[in-house]
Structure 1
Amino acid sequence: MPLIKGFNAAAVPISVRVVFADGTTARYIWKPETKMWTRIPGTARDNFNNIIPETVQDITGGGYREYVFGQGSSSDLTQFTARLTHMGVPVGTAGGTGNRVKIGCSSVNNGPPICEIMIY
């Protein structure tokens, strides 16, 4: 018998934020009908809180998006540029000086994105 009349606990969605060992996060929702956890699209972030794009359209969000990497993040940067390359996105080097790195990605009219690595 339900604790509250008309309340169905099985119908209440449960979501959690999972933090992985490398600092990456994502949100998952429990689906009672399938008895499975499912990642919520668009919620994955790296340890610098950059969006982890799932589709080519996610890379720029329809315009321009920057991905900032702090000091000592060469493996994060390497993984991210590999992901862009795997998705067929060209990644160039704009240059600069400094000890921080960001990648700027842009697209025009939802066209194919172009990304540049910038050091500052």
Structure 2
Amino acid sequence: MSQRVVNDPIQDVRGPCVRRNEKPQTFLTSAEVDRLVDDYLAGLSVGYLAQKYGVHRATVSKHLTRNNVGRRQRGLTIDEIAEAVKLHGGGISMRAIALTLGVDRKQVRASLVAAGALST
């Protein structure tokens, strides 16, 4: 029977890490998780939070799920889609609609296609 070699724990400026596939894995403290949740509820994106806390996007999502945080819907709301359809019918460009609604032009296009106001 072989014995597993015990290595000293890896640490960096963020705290204790474990090694897996040559990539350090950072564990967030409960205070950091609380700040992460507060930041998300304040409107910061999952991608931004992953970068800010030095963890993977999936880690951010798992912390949000564990803390029973409802996830924001991607895309436009029903009211925003109705507004986009109205503006598009009035001859306004998708770029201008996107700027008006504060979203990406691709979201506007996808919403217009889904609403039947634009062909694929």
Shorter-chain TM band:
under 0.3
**Which has more strand, going by share of residues?**
1
Structure whose CA Rg is larger: 2
Higher relative contact order (CA 8 A, sep 6+): 1
Q: TM-score, normalised by structure 2?
A: 0.28
